[in-house]
Chain A
Amino acid sequence: MQETATLNNSFKSEEYFINMGPQHPATHGVLRLLLTIDGEIIKKVEPDLGYIHRSIEKMCERDSYQQIVHLTDRMDYLSSHINNEAVCLTVENALELEIPDRVKVIRTIIGELTRIASHCLWWGVMGMDVGALTTYFYGFRDREMINDIFEETCGARLTMNYNVPGGLMWDIHPNFIKRVKEFIVHFKTKIPEYDKLLTGNVIFQKRTKGVGVLSKEDAISFGVSGPVARGSGYSCDVRKYHPYSALDKVTFNEVLETDGDTFARYNVRIKELWESLSIIEQLIDNIPEGEHRVKTNAVIKLPKGEFYQKVETARGELGVYIISTGTKNPYRMKFRSPGFSNLSALNHMAVGGKIGDLVATMATLDLVIPDIDR
């Protein structure tokens, strides 16, 4: 009797668990997804975090304010300059330092270059996730040019640590302006190629349109930000609403799409490439003369209080929150990272889709796992 019962049970169709990650090509790092699947249909997605947690927030409580900056390189490593800028802006605002215009303009230019580099990498990886392996190399070719510019000016390609509280570590390299202009000319011919190769492709459109839909209301209630939120029609660009550095001096459009599906998020990022290029074009010829750095005390002591600054990284809104008790270390440091909030919407977007849809959706969330785990 019992034997037949188990036999019947074992032939029953049932949902099963599958571990996607921590080592899986589509999770772009050490994210682990616990999938509940019925055949190919996804019933539930549970992200499991913590595989690359390095307690950066706790380490910040140990370090001085100059030292904190280089830790933020290692959070969202694809927009490291913007992370650095966020910390430096918080410290500078707290100290009420007057930052020279030159510093502001250079920070903005490099920040937008970082955004382009990040989006290039994302584009390549997006293509790879939906199966077009060649896009990866085309994206990387253009990103390499930016990385070379960074290497020449900042000394490093990825973890640049070019910002210090009070300005920039060095002045820009004499070749910087020339190289950036070369890049703009080069890249303007390449974005149409991106469109021809992937955006217009019928298979790609079938894979992405109507997949992973996130409505505007859900986008707001999940607290997503950046291109993911703007793909759902939620206007939330920090650069527009709370301009920092030299972003109040430039004109650019906030890219908005209303569909909220994977293709909308894809389109937002592709159009943001054009907007970033136009921001750089407006600034690159008018870098004002002046100091590249304001003298600060060797030991920076923030006044007692709480300080918050948000910036727009390539992934969304990064908030830096410092509680200071007046000593040379922060009492508590908190990063509001965009990836964490964006990931929280994954379950909502992926349920009901297939495994292929999950991968495509996850690609447009543009996750950087160290940014989520910190």
Chain B
Amino acid sequence: MQISLNITETIQECLVSMMSESAAGYIAMVIIALIYLGIFSVAGLFLVLLERRVAAWFQLRIGPNRVGFQGLLQTMADALKLVSKELTGTDRADKFLYNLAPYFVIISALMALGLIPFTKEFQAFDINIGIFFLIAVSSIGVIGILLGGWASNNKFALIGAMRSGVQTISYELSVGLSLLTMILLTGSLQLSEIVELQKSGWLIVQGHIPAIIAFMIYMIAGTAETNRAPFDMVEAESELGAGFHTEYSGMKFAYFFLAEFINMFLIAAIATTVFFGAWLSPFGITESIPWLGVLWFLVKTLLLVFLMMWFRWTFPRLRVDQLLTLEWKYLLPINLVNIVVMAFIVWQNLIILI
């Protein structure tokens, strides 16, 4: 069974047969963008539902199970409610920035989504600086949060936004350095090449001890990057009410909310790509069926997402200064040492290959 998942080429070829090449190029872009928007919203809504069900199971509850089979349409109904809600805002808010902020958050998440290799072919664009691009794009999101908190004309939102600035900028370092550790191993920033290399063993196996340490640091920093508990200083429900999105309502709030979940998915997806061989099946058991790669990719990613949910529903929140202590006194030094260790391993060729 052969299903071609190389969407960019398939769509392009189909369109070229109908119109001129340049027009086909533009239309193909639009179509691909729409497809990714679809993936974006469906994945976002599904993740919200998953979070709610998983939280309920951790907390001895049942969770949403009324709308649709086992509550599958619950988040759809919520989204409809949010769309139809009135958009309220504060008096004397900076209207332009206030309205602009959600788009920063959502667009950065969308841009990063295009790079994720769901399978060998199912990847919107595969540039040679893939990882670097991902790190760069995901940092743009914090501007949206800062703007939103600043422009809301609300002190709680402002505190939340400032906390977010501090937090994201610090933890960006750890995310970058832990990925850098792995790049020492791969020697390439291109995601497709990183995956190709893992056919002889996932990188977490290839790099053994430093790779595992890098993975742990990446998961901690990634959780912080997405502003999720135990690092949800930005929202900190019991301290700041709702943090930076206190004054947002309706669809604008939904943008922030969706982006948070997509970011969580992205962090898990990057971890899957870099540490767990993306769409590669374990020991190559389903190598002959390429489209099963999507399934493997999603299974691995959702397992990591589940891990992040597990963190969230178990741990208390850190305080602002402890958050920074953790980054600058623990994660960063360990990370730097870890890079040296990884460099030594690559130099001496102590990699485990299967």
A131 CB contacts on chain B under 8 angstroms? 229-230, 232, 236, 238, 315-317
Distance in Å: Cβ of A170 to nearest Cβ of chain B: 32
CB under 8 Å from chain B, chain A span 37-90 = 40
- Pick from A201-209, A214-222, A307-315, A323-331 the stretch touching chain B: A201-209
A26 CB contacts on chain B under 8 angstroms? 238-239
**B319 lies within 8 A of A357 (CB):** yes
B319 CB contacts on chain A under 8 angstroms? 206-207, 354, 356-357
**A25 lies within 8 A of B238 (CB):** yes
Bound-state Cα–Cα, A136 to B238, Å:
13
A198 lies within 8 A of chain B by Cβ: yes
B159 CB contacts on chain A under 8 angstroms? 40, 355
A133 CB contacts on chain B under 8 angstroms? 55, 59, 229, 313
CB under 8 Å from chain B, chain A span 99-128 = 127-128
**B314 lies within 8 A of A206 (CB):** no
- Bits for A3-25, please: 1 = Cβ < 8 Å to B, else 0: 00000000000001010000011
Q: Given that A40-B159, A130-B317 are contacting pairs, would A137 and B61 also be in contact in the complex, using a CB cutoff of 8 Å? A: yes
CB under 8 Å from chain A, chain B span 141-196 = 155-156, 159
Distance in Å: Cβ of B47 to nearest Cβ of chain A: 18
A197 lies within 8 A of chain B by Cβ: yes
Bound-state Cα–Cα, A94 to B129, Å:
85
Q: Which 4 A-B pairs have the closest CB atoms?
A: A131-B317, A137-B59, A130-B316, A132-B316
Bound-state Cα–Cα, A138 to B61, Å:
10
B60 lies within 8 A of chain A by Cβ: yes
Bound-state Cα–Cα, A128 to B317, Å:
9
A136 CB contacts on chain B under 8 angstroms? 59
- What's the interface size class on B, roughly? 20 to 34
**B236 lies within 8 A of A356 (CB):** yes
A134 lies within 8 A of chain B by Cβ: yes
Bound-state Cα–Cα, A128 to B238, Å:
7
**B239 lies within 8 A of A356 (CB):** yes
B321 lies within 8 A of chain A by Cβ: yes
B237 lies within 8 A of chain A by Cβ: yes
Q: Which of A127, A203, A357 contacts B230 (CB 8 A)?
A: A203
**B318 lies within 8 A of A355 (CB):** no
Bound-state Cα–Cα, A347 to B317, Å:
23
**B238 lies within 8 A of A204 (CB):** no
A141 lies within 8 A of chain B by Cβ: yes
B125 lies within 8 A of chain A by Cβ: no
Name 28 A/B residue pairs within 8 A (Cβ), A-sorted.
Answer: A24-B241, A25-B237, A25-B238, A26-B239, A40-B159, A40-B320, A129-B238, A130-B238, A130-B316, A131-B232, A131-B236, A132-B314, A132-B315, A134-B313, A137-B60, A201-B315, A203-B316, A203-B318, A203-B322, A206-B318, A206-B322, A207-B318, A207-B319, A207-B322, A355-B159, A355-B239, A356-B320, A357-B319
**B155 lies within 8 A of A134 (CB):** no
A359 lies within 8 A of chain B by Cβ: yes
Q: Given that A137-B60, A197-B314 are contacting pairs, would A354 and B238 also be in contact in the complex, using a CB cutoff of 8 Å? A: no
Apart from A130-B238, A356-B317, 9 more pairs, CB < 8 Å: A130-B317, A131-B230, A132-B315, A133-B313, A134-B313, A201-B316, A203-B317, A206-B322, A356-B319
Residue of B nearest to A358 (CB): B239
- What's the interface size class on A, roughly? 20 to 34
Bound-state Cα–Cα, A264 to B317, Å:
19
Bound-state Cα–Cα, A198 to B314, Å:
9
Q: Given that A207-B322, A354-B321, A355-B159 are contacting pairs, would A127 and B238 also be in contact in the complex, using a CB cutoff of 8 Å? A: no
**B241 lies within 8 A of A18 (CB):** no
Most central of A18, A132, A356 by chain B CB within 10 Å = A356
Q: Given that A131-B230, A134-B59 are contacting pairs, would A198 and B316 also be in contact in the complex, using a CB cutoff of 8 Å? A: yes
CB under 8 Å from chain B, chain A span 175-214 = 197-198, 201, 203-204, 206-207
Residue of A nearest to B237 (CB): A25
Residue of B nearest to A356 (CB): B319
B72 lies within 8 A of chain A by Cβ: no
Residue of B nearest to A137 (CB): B59
Q: Given that A18-B155, A138-B60, A203-B230 are contacting pairs, would A127 and B320 also be in contact in the complex, using a CB cutoff of 8 Å? A: no
Residue of A nearest to B60 (CB): A137
Bound-state Cα–Cα, A212 to B230, Å:
21
**A204 lies within 8 A of B239 (CB):** no
**A359 lies within 8 A of B239 (CB):** yes
Residue of A nearest to B322 (CB): A206
A354 CB contacts on chain B under 8 angstroms? 319-321
Bound-state Cα–Cα, A256 to B128, Å:
64
B341 lies within 8 A of chain A by Cβ: no
Q: Which of B58, B156, B232, B238 contacts A134 (CB 8 A)?
A: B58
Residue of A nearest to B240 (CB): A355
B155 CB contacts on chain A under 8 angstroms? 16, 18
Bound-state Cα–Cα, A346 to B55, Å:
33
- Bits for A127-155, please: 1 = Cβ < 8 Å to B, else 0: 11111111011100100000000000000
B55 CB contacts on chain A under 8 angstroms? 133
CB under 8 Å from chain A, chain B span 312-339 = 313-322
Distance in Å: Cβ of B313 to nearest Cβ of chain A: 5
Bound-state Cα–Cα, A207 to B320, Å:
10
**A141 lies within 8 A of B60 (CB):** yes
Most central of B61, B237, B238, B322 by chain A CB within 10 Å = B238
Bound-state Cα–Cα, A336 to B317, Å:
35
Bound-state Cα–Cα, A201 to B318, Å:
11
Bound-state Cα–Cα, A340 to B322, Å:
32
B239 CB contacts on chain A under 8 angstroms? 26, 355-356, 359
Bound-state Cα–Cα, A356 to B232, Å:
12
Residue of B nearest to A25 (CB): B238
